[in-house]
């Protein structure tokens, strides 16, 4: 499993932001027993942070975007295969590429390693 550092960092920040909100609810409900205050705080936290977590873990804005096509000629080796191309990621955007280059899986992996060496996060 490959960890997306940007998603993980956002999740850790989100986790820390939940602390003061949940603490406030528990303090606000100081007259109630601890279990009731904790349950209410967690319900409120769930209502708020479900949407934040959903964005963090499903947003295409936070992930590298790839395009995959069947039966294309690899632009590197010429083999007819399933073709891959990196469309967009941090510091890399080929969304408006007039002549996109698709690569077979092995050439795509090699190209990804080349891009990583130049500082592009794949």
pTM of the model: 0.49
Q: Quick one: pLDDT at residue 1?
A: 42
The Cα 50–Cα 34 span in angstroms is 23
Helix (H) or strand (E) holding 106: helix 105-117
Question: In the listed set 61, 79, 105, which residue is the last one of a domain according to the structure?
Answer: 61
Examine residue 122 and state whether it is found in any structural domain, yes or no. Answer: no
Examine residue 33 and state whether it is found in any structural domain, yes or no. Answer: yes
Average pLDDT score over the chain: 86
**Tally of domains within the chain:** 2
Strand partners, 69: 83
Q: Which of 13-17, 54-58, 60-64 has the lowest mean pLDDT?
A: 60-64
Average pLDDT of the residues in 11-15: 90
Do 69 and 96 share a domain, yes or no?
yes
The Cα 110–Cα 119 span in angstroms is 15
Q: Give the pLDDT confidence of 58-103 residue by residue, as tens digits.
A: 776 666 678 888 999 999 999 999 999 888 777 778 888 888 999 9
The CB density around residue 104, as the number of other CB atoms within 10 Å, is 21
Q: Quick one: pLDDT at residue 3?
A: 54
Examine residue 86 and state whether it is found in any structural domain, yes or no. Answer: yes
Structural domain range at position 13:
5-61
Q: State the pLDDT confidence band at 23, using cuts at 50, 70 and 90.
A: very high
Do 69 and 112 share a domain, yes or no?
yes
End-to-end CA distance of the chain: 14
Q: Quick one: pLDDT at residue 49?
A: 92
Q: Quick one: pLDDT at residue 79?
A: 94
């Amino acid at each position: 499993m490959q960890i997306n550092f940007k998603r993980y960092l956002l999740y850790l920040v989100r986790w820390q932001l939940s602390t003061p909100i949940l603490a406030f609810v528990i303090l606000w409900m100081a007259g109630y027993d601890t279990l009731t205050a904790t349950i209410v705080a967690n319900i409120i936290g769930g209502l708020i942070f479900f949407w934040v977590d959903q964005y963090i873990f499903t947003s295409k804005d936070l992930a590298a975007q790839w395009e995959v096509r069947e039966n294309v000629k690899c632009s590197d080796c010429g083999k007819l295969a399933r073709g891959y191309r990196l469309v967009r990621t941090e510091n890399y955007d080929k969304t408006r590429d007039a002549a996109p280059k698709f690569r077979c899986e092995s050439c795509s992996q090699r190209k990804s390693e080349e891009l990583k060496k130049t500082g592009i996060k794949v």
